[in-house]
């Protein structure tokens, strides 16, 4: 390659990698105008040769506890806190043969059923295995009902593969099955599968909804009403989103019952420094285990309507009701029943009376209250 051609190639490269310096050089601006005067760029190999003790070459870490998002640092999640870490240390000591006045550690911080020895549901495991490895559909080991369920799910997946991307709301046939279940659970109150959204666990769903609801600054910042005692996911999410936690206390002397007067007290106190917009209900209670009566739920719905609150009904443990004196009532079903009778049941203080409940209006209530 001739010298002139090589010079032209270097010139083009210098313009490519340092266009700003090139333009400055052409205009006669102050600063480096030659390639060798530009800031030094180190390759990966060169960086690996830098001596660790060279103060001129050391750079501070980008992410440290000092630079960490303060909202994340404020998050507390007691079920994974220091007591659990201590329990894990004790377990390791027992495994290493260290003598203790006990032989095992029973963890009661979370409802980890399988860790406590509860056997998984075979059918669910079979369906998941068949969906993940469809070649097993030809195996005589798996029952026909599990194969039929897996085939139905795979047919709704792109390319009939569980690894394909699904719609943002989730796989359609699963959402349809959930809607059918909700309709049966609520004794015929129809559920539209288009209103069903699937999430990776209840925690992810709760966090997603709170993100939509939290806004404002100062005294207009969103307040989120949560029960005390509560599952610490709520307080952790509120801290991370920099919302305002509004505590309402369950009545321990009355089997941890929810009292609407306590909701009113908490709401009025919070109004002095934030704007309560969300009412979180855990039914059956976690960790308290109380099951709300239909009358209590309707009173809560009436309170939420009066104060224009968005109700988040956490009903994860709806099948875990063991007392013959208790019966689970979903907030959705109670809301439907309440919506149909509001014109006669309640004495509405608002200036305009509520509209008569129709199939269309009931559907809109479902969209608002159930997610």
Alpha carbon distance 342, 155 (integer Å):
44
Beta bridge partners of 245: 224
H or E, element range at 226: strand 222-228
- Among 194, 191, 175, 206, residue whose Cα is nearest residue 333: 191
What is the average per-residue pLDDT within 246-275? 96
> Is 315:337 a contact under the CB 8 Å cutoff?
no
The token duo for 324 is 């013959």
Q: Shortest CA distance to 233 belongs to which of 278, 277, 203, 272?
A: 203
Q: Could you tell me how many helices (H) and strands (E) the chain has, helices first?
A: 14, 4
Residue 312: strand pairing partners? 280
What pLDDT is recorded for position 49?
55
Which DSSP string corresponds to 311-334? Answer: EEEE-TTTT----TT-----HHHH
Q: 150-208: per-residue pLDDT in tens?
A: 999 999 999 999 999 999 999 999 999 999 999 999 998 999 999 999 999 888 999 99
Nearest one of 339, 288, 291, 279 to 315, comparing CA atoms:
291
Three-point CA angle 146, 152, 155, nearest 5°: 135
What's the CA gap between 361 and 59, in Å, rounded?
A: 62
Predicted pLDDT at 70 = 87
For residue 238, the model assigns a pLDDT of 94
Pairing of strands 244-249, 275-282: unpaired
Q: Is the dihedral of CA 314, 316, 319, 325 positive or negative?
A: negative
234-244: average pLDDT: 93
What integer pLDDT is reported at residue 17 of this predicted model? 46
Q: What are phi and psi of 178, to 5 degrees?
A: -65, -40
Mean pLDDT calculated for residue range 11-36: 50
- CB-based contact 353:343 (threshold 8 Å): yes
CA distances from 79 to 32, 118, 231, 247, 256 (A): 58, 20, 9, 19, 20
CA distance 297 to 186: 15
The token pair at 306 is 């009066």
Average pLDDT, the chain: 82
Token duo for residue 197 = 């959204």
Count Cα atoms within 13 angstroms, Cβ side, for 82: 0
268 pLDDT above the threshold of 50: yes
| Predicted pLDDT of residue 360 | 38
The model scores a pTM over 0.95? no
Phi, psi of 360 (to 5 degrees): -70, -45
Query: What residues form DSSP beta bridges with 248?
Result: 227
Q: How confident is the model at residue 110 (pLDDT cuts 50, 70, 90)?
A: confident
Q: Residue 355: is its pLDDT beyond 80?
A: no
Taking residue 19's Cβ as centre, other Cβ atoms within 10 Å add up to 10
How high is the pLDDT of residue 31? 52
Which pLDDT band, with edges at 50, 70 and 90, does 356 fall under? very low
């Amino acid at each position: 390659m001739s010298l002139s051609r090589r010079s032209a190639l270097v010139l083009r490269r210098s313009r490519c990698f340092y266009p700003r310096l090139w333009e400055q050089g052409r205009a006669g601006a102050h600063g480096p105008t030659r390639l060798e005067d530009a800031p030094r760029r180190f390759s990966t190999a060169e960086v690996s040769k830098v001596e660790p003790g060279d103060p001129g070459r050391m750079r501070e870490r980008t992410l440290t506890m000092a630079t960490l998002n303060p909202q994340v640092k404020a998050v507390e999640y007691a079920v994974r806190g220091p007591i659990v870490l201590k329990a894990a240390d004790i377990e390791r000591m027992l495994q290493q043969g260290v003598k203790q006045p006990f032989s095992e550690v029973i963890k009661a911080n979370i409802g980890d059923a399988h860790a406590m020895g509860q056997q998984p549901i075979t059918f669910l495991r079979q369906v998941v295995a068949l969906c993940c490895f469809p070649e097993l559909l030809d195996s005589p080991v798996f029952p026909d009902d599990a194969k039929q369920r897996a085939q139905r799910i795979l047919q709704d997946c792109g390319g009939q593969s569980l690894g394909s991307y699904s719609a943002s709301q989730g796989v359609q046939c699963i959402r349809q099955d959930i809607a059918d279940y909700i309709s049966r659970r609520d004794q015929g109150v129809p559920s539209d599968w288009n209103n069903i959204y699937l999430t990776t666990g209840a925690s992810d769903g709760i966090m997603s909804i709170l993100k939509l609801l939290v806004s404002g600054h100062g005294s207009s910042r969103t307040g989120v009403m949560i029960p005390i005692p509560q599952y610490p996911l709520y307080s952790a999410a509120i801290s991370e989103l920099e919302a305002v936690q509004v505590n309402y206390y369950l009545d321990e002397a009355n089997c941890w019952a929810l009292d609407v007067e306590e909701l009113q007290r908490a709401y009025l106190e919070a109004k002095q420094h934030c704007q309560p917009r969300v009412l979180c209900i855990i039914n059956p209670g976690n960790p308290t285990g109380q099951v709300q009566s239909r009358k209590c739920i309707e009173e809560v719905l009436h309170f939420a309507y009066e104060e224009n609150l968005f109700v988040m009904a956490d009903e994860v443990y709806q099948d875990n009701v063991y007392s013959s004196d208790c019966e689970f009532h979903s907030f959705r079903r109670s809301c439907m029943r309440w919506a149909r009778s509001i014109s006669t049941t309640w004495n509405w203080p608002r200036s305009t009376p509520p509209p008569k409940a129709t199939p269309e209006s009931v559907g809109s209530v479902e969209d608002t209250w159930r997610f």
